[in-house]
């Protein structure tokens, strides 16, 4: 982590970064009762702007509701809280982490009487999968770990507990010499990476797993779907078999942290030309063009300071 914001938003007030602490007996520590978001602010052609802030805040509250957590704040209030946190910390570009969790109170699995805490922190964060990844791509493996099955943990909630599964996928990949892992769903179809959605190109069609494959409904994913439609390419959301990875022309990850990161090999099998392909390159140009003014997008996607 490079520059961190010295002030953290906590339940409506600002505290110092070093004071943003919780009790070791907080419910979230023992039972994983947290939901969160990852958001980026870019220094755009028209000044610093947070990308798709309202959608992120709505997803945060959706995740909280699934877990029966009802924070006191509306989407509008959380949007303003994020902007104030950025202003207080004098950031021009940053990563934003709002988190809602159950704090210190009663002990035991039942969380209903524990207090609900809301924090927002900001810091500078570079390219998640490495500075060269956007151009050269990354090497990945198909993980031996499966994504969570339906009616076990809700995949649509961006919950801290879900990321224990993500950590298993990531650690396995790193310890085996890969940058990232791709998980399958409970039926053996492609799901997503440890913290990224997945896209695959074959011919003139862009494929991505459907929501029923235990994937997070990614906001960058929906952005790329919009860009694919602007390109006039065919888009297919469907169940995708593992072996389709090995014959794809191009594959890439999407996510707030990963942005659009090409995949150059899967299980040591080269993808396409073995580096970033032409469609991925074009989609990257269009994505980053949102911030330099070269790509038109819905006006509410950028929230300016």
Q: Which residues are catalytic?
A: 158
Burial group, residue 44, by CB count within 10 angstroms (0-12, 13-18, 19+)? middle
Beta-carbon contacts of 33 under 8 Å, excluding residues fewer than 6 positions away, are: 27, 67, 69, 101, 102, 111, 114, 160, 161
Cα–Cα distance between 129 and 138 in angstroms, integer?
8
Q: Do 42 and 259 touch, CB atoms closer than 8 A?
A: no
Cα–Cα distance between 140 and 251 in angstroms, integer?
11
Angle CA 276–291–5, to nearest 5? 100
Cα–Cα distance between 289 and 227 in angstroms, integer?
11
Taking the CB of residue 10, how many other CB atoms lie within 10 A of it? 15
């Amino acid at each position: 982590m490079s520059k961190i914001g010295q002030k953290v938003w906590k339940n409506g007030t600002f505290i110092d970064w070093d004071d943003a602490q919780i009790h070791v007996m907080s419910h979230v520590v023992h039972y994983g009762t947290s939901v969160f978001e990852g958001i980026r602010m870019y220094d755009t052609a028209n000044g610093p702007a947070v990308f798709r802030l309202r959608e992120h805040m709505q997803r945060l509250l959706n995740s909280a509701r699934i877990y029966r957590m009802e924070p006191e704040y509306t989407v509008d209030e959380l949007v303003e809280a994020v902007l104030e946190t950025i202003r207080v910390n004098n950031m021009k570009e940053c990563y934003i982490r709002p988190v809602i969790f159950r704090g210190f109170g009663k002990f035991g699995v039942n969380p209903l009487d524990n207090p609900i805490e809301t924090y927002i922190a900001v810091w500078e964060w570079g390219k998640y999968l490495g500075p060269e990844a956007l151009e050269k791509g990354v090497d990945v493996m198909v993980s031996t770990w499966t994504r969570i099955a339906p009616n076990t943990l809700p995949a649509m909630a961006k919950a801290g507990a879900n990321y224990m599964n993500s950590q298993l996928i990531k650690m396995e990949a790193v310890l085996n010499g890969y940058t990232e892992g791709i998980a399958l769903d409970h039926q053996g179809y492609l799901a997503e990476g440890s913290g990224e959605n997945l896209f695959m190109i074959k011919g003139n069609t862009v494929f991505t797993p459907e929501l029923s494959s235990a994937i997070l409904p990614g906001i960058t994913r929906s952005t790329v779907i919009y860009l694919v439609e602007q390109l006039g390419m065919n888009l297919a959301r469907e169940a995708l078999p593992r072996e389709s990875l090995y014959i794809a022309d191009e594959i890439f990850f999407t996510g707030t942290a990963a942005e659009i990161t090409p995949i150059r090999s899967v299980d040591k099998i080269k993808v396409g030309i073995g580096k970033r392909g032409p469609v991925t390159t074009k989609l990257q140009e269009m994505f980053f063009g949102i911030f330099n003014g070269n790509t038109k997008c819905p006006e509410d996607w950028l929230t300016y300071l």
